[in-house]
Structure 1
Amino acid sequence: MISLFVCIPQNIKLFMTWGDIDKTAKILSLTDISTTLVTFKMIHLWDAKKKLKPLIFHIRQDWTNSKPENERKLMTHFARKCRNVSLLYVFLSQSTFVFYTAQQIFVAIMEGKTNLTNVTRETYVVSYFPYDLNKSPNFQLSWLMQCISIAFGNIAFATIDSFFAILVLHICGQLRVLRQRVLKCVEEPSGEFRKWKLQNKVSLIVRRHDYLNNCIDIVEDTFNMIFLVQLSGFIVTFCVQGYILILPLVALISEDWRNSKTEKERIIMLNMARTARKISLICVFLSQGTVIFHTAGEMYFTITDRFNEYANQTRRTYIISHFPYDTKNSPNFELTWFSQFLATILATITYAGVHGFFAVLVMHLCAQFAILRYRLIDAIHKIVTKTEKKEFRDEYAAIIRRHQLLNRCVEIIEDAFNMLFLAEILTCSIQFCLQGYQLSIMTGNHEEPLPIVLLIVMVTFLMYMLVLFYIYCYVAEELRYQSTEIVFAAYSCEWYELPSKEANNLLLLMQRAKTPSTLTAGKFCNLSLQLFNKILKTSAGYLSVLLTMTNKEDI
């Protein structure tokens, strides 16, 4: 039922709208990925039911067998955890279903009231059906069947996750019980030691431990593919949801460029756009330069290792990693090396693209704040030169609304990027420290020849990280500066020539604009050039500690 009314129609609609990224993101962000995941989960668990039946039987047997009071308390404790997890899954899934259903009902009612002649009649989820949905009862039946399918899918999704939690937490409880048995295996209740019982108790504990390990293997074999597919689906969903979150801001940028503007306003936007383009090119150049130097170094190492007749071939992979197979044999080595190479290229493109996109968004907002400052000065100049008061009031109201819109855009960027920057700061601090440590070790070892290629790669990578970290600190500093310049523009203009009522109105704008628009790293600290200096100082301090410890070990 889920496949017939939701999965297949949605995937057909997804294929039909593949060229339109907005419609594609809308389909992927709602139920397409979730329903596909739950369908895969049900099929996979149905295929693994023979393996799970003995495990379920033993769980029931664990509860029916007589046990000491302390062991039963442990099992009850973990059973309560299972119940809480299950209730949480059910509450979240059904709350999502209820809110989404209420939203769709409200949208359907409002569309019917506002457009009585041409009602489009959107289905419960965006789908394609080979019949006319605008006719009754086609629309009502399709809407109802999709609603029921989503409800069943929600129940199945929460049930499968709860079932996994029950299995794992029951095994955790049995391991805790086994731990207590190990602690008491050599003592009788009276405290006397009995050697003749020790062997039997240890034998029972070992067999029980083997049985629990077999249960873990069953759970692993059953759920590992489910978690791989679910993790991939969640990653795609998070990316699409992030795109939808940023989408209004992108639409605003497009609208700003389409609207008519004065020559000075267009010059301001072009200057900021050129700065954003330079930042994007720097990000791409440094990221790809790092990949090129690293690839050249690894190819040089592989070639020299291949023709080295006096030593064993190490066949080092593109990135030092562990794989559950022998990477020294062909074609394992070649395929692994090439796959890591492609993954690194995609990762660096994504990394540079995210930073370039952030720079484009923030620099556009900086341009809009600068234009707003120019419009304020121009509006005050007009009223001073005897322009009508009504035009100034209209322009001033438009400036206030525009300022509020820009502040909301800053909040969108803050909500979308703050956790990313928190992780970035932590990783950059560690990488600066480790890269500096590696460079000092390489240059300080006079017994071996200096690895020029590796040195170039490390210096390029260090410059790449430094420049990227500096870029988003600089961009955030520029946003902070441009947002507060409105206050100085209002103060430095000819406000003393204004009537008292208009001059008092400026105080409201100045009061709001004196609070700078800042971007934070996880709400912990503001991104600024001062933060850049602090991170460098902190990394240098960690580096000095590492070098001091290394020197003490050498002594």
Structure 2
Amino acid sequence: MIMNFTSFIEPNQSGSRVSEQELNNKLFEWAIGLHRKALKISGLWLYPKSTKWYIKILMDLQSPFFAASVIVFFSTPEIFALIRVWSDLTLVVDNFLSFIPVFSGQIKLLVLWTKRKAISRIINLIENDYLELKNDSERKIMIKYARIAKIMMVCGVANISYSIIVFHGSVAFGFLFRTITNLTDIPTHLISTQSVYPFDITVGYRCLIIRILHVILCFITGFYYTEIDVFFGISILHSCGQLKVLAKEINYLTDSCQSSMIKILLKNIVLRHYRII
């Protein structure tokens, strides 16, 4: 997943080195491929018009469906619990520790869902920058910053997975990372979050289903919460890489070019990097 630069310039099966365009395409796919998949899973990827209409509709409704599911099955029971414990500050804080991050994640997702065209334009601009790379030195710079973004994504998902396993898995051992109260909890049917449901959770497998549903919804929320933050990180890191490429070009320009050519070449450099200046 996190590759060295030499892996991009190895000869192909015919024994010849790949062309500059193929190399840039391969580098772009490596740099953005993982994040593209994450955006698709989160429902934030804008599919082309050529996509079949029913698939496009399903993908367009993916993010609202995720947000609605979390709000109905996770946040709403916590609101009911919050009403019951409002007079106890300790219990209110326990409620907010899980309610606020999850609910803010839904707001973040829906806001980004309405800005999918802007996300698509950013991805297109990043692709154009990668396709314009001219030499190995520039590619090494961009790989350095792209690798940081990939590490951020992997570490973020690993952190979310670990937190969910510890937080929700504690129920299996009979203890919770919050205050247990008879206002919202049933000692024999504990739930990891402070929740109140409008039905009896002690009947059949309802409690087990709720626990499993909480794990799934928390992982989905944590995943796109992480992906959204990492996407902004990608944009910043990509700009940092492009600015470093720009500085390298200007240094080379002033050191090796004649004064009569500097104005023309500087204009070309500025036109290439105008989006981040």
Asked whether the two chains share a fold, i.e. TM above 0.5, the reply is yes
Over residues 91-143 of structure 1, what are the superposed CA-to-partner deviations in whole Å (9 max), with x where a residue is unaligned? 2221111111221221279xxxxxxxx85412232112111111113222222
Matched, 1:207 2:275: no
* Aligned residue among 194, 202, 210 for 1:134: 202
Report the secondary structure of 1:26's partner residue: helix
Q: Kindly tell me: are residues 192 and 155 of structure 1, through their superposed partners in 2, closer, same or farther at Cα, counting changes over 3 Å?
A: closer
- Structure 1 contact 13–128 (Cα < 8 Å) conserved: yes
- Structure 1 contact 89–161 (Cα < 8 Å) conserved: no
Match of 1:95 in 2: 162
Per-residue deviation at 1:83? 1.7
Distance 2:187 2:99 in 1: 25
Q: In structure 1, give the amino acid aligned to 2:189.
A: R
Distance 1:101 1:202 in 2: 57
- Structure 1 contact 9–129 (Cα < 8 Å) conserved: yes
Over residues 342-382 of structure 1, what are the superposed CA-to-partner deviations in whole Å (9 max), with x where a residue is unaligned? xxxxxxxxxxxxxxxxxxxxxxxxxxxxxxxxxxxxxxxxx
* Aligned residue among 138, 142, 145 for 1:71: 138
Distance 1:76 1:44 in 2: 30
Distance 1:166 1:134 in 2: 46
Q: Which runs of 4+ in 1 moved over 6 A?
A: none
Distance 1:11 1:206 in 2: 53
Matched, 1:62 2:129: yes
What is the root-mean-square deviation of aligned Cα atoms in Å? Answer: 2.1
Q: Kindly tell me: are residues 200 and 7 of structure 1, through their superposed partners in 2, closer, same or farther at Cα, counting changes over 3 Å?
A: farther
Report the secondary structure of 2:134's partner residue: coil
Match of 1:538 in 2: none
Per-residue deviation at 1:164? 1.5
| Number of equivalenced pairs | 200
Per the normalisation by structure 2, the TM-score is 0.66
Match of 2:234 in 1: 166
Matched, 1:13 2:71: no
Match of 2:244 in 1: 176
Compare relative contact order (CA 8 Å, sep 6+) and give the higher one, 1 or 2. Answer: 2
Per-residue deviation at 1:194? 5.7
Match of 2:173 in 1: 106
Q: In structure 2, give the amino acid aligned to 1:204.
A: N
Match of 1:113 in 2: none
Q: In structure 2, give the amino acid aligned to 1:93.
A: I
Matched, 1:193 2:258: yes
Match of 1:525 in 2: none
Distance 1:192 1:179 in 2: 15
**How do 1:392-431 and structure 2 match up within 5 A?**
none
* Aligned residue among 170, 193, 196 for 1:125: 193
Q: Give the structure with higher Rg (CA).
A: 1
Distance 1:209 1:64 in 2: 13
Identity of aligned residues (%): 22
Distance 2:169 2:116 in 1: 36
Q: In structure 2, give the amino acid aligned to 1:10.
A: E
**How do 1:149-548 and structure 2 match up within 5 A?**
149-187=217-255, 191=256, 193=258, 195=260, 197-213=261-277
Per-residue deviation at 1:202? 1.6
Q: In structure 1, give the amino acid aligned to 2:170.
A: Q
Per-residue deviation at 1:178? 0.7
Q: In structure 1, give the amino acid aligned to 2:128.
A: Q
Q: In structure 2, give the amino acid aligned to 1:101.
A: H
Over residues 161-218 of structure 1, what are the superposed CA-to-partner deviations in whole Å (9 max), with x where a residue is unaligned? 211211110111011111111112245xxx45261x32232222333443114xxxxx
Q: In structure 1, give the amino acid aligned to 2:258.
A: F
Matched, 1:80 2:144: no
Q: Kindly tell me: are residues 192 and 183 of structure 1, through their superposed partners in 2, closer, same or farther at Cα, counting changes over 3 Å?
A: closer
Match of 1:423 in 2: none
Over residues 395-442 of structure 1, what are the superposed CA-to-partner deviations in whole Å (9 max), with x where a residue is unaligned? xxxxxxxxxxxxxxxxxxxxxxxxxxxxxxxxxxxxxxxxxxxxxxxx
Match of 1:143 in 2: 211
Report the secondary structure of 2:174's partner residue: helix
Report the secondary structure of 1:185's partner residue: helix
Distance 1:203 1:158 in 2: 39
Over residues 314-369 of structure 1, what are the superposed CA-to-partner deviations in whole Å (9 max), with x where a residue is unaligned? xxxxxxxxxxxxxxxxxxxxxxxxxxxxxxxxxxxxxxxxxxxxxxxxxxxxxxxx
Higher helix share: 1
Q: In structure 1, give the amino acid aligned to 2:226.
A: A
Distance 1:119 1:173 in 2: 55
Q: In structure 2, give the amino acid aligned to 1:81.
A: I
Per-residue deviation at 1:65? 3.3
- Structure 1 contact 18–24 (Cα < 8 Å) conserved: yes
- Structure 1 contact 89–158 (Cα < 8 Å) conserved: yes
- Structure 2 contact 171–192 (Cα < 8 Å) conserved: yes
- Structure 1 contact 86–162 (Cα < 8 Å) conserved: yes
Structure 1 residue ranges without an equivalent (≥5)? 110-117, 214-555
Q: Kindly tell me: are residues 192 and 129 of structure 1, through their superposed partners in 2, closer, same or farther at Cα, counting changes over 3 Å?
A: closer
- Structure 1 contact 108–121 (Cα < 8 Å) conserved: no
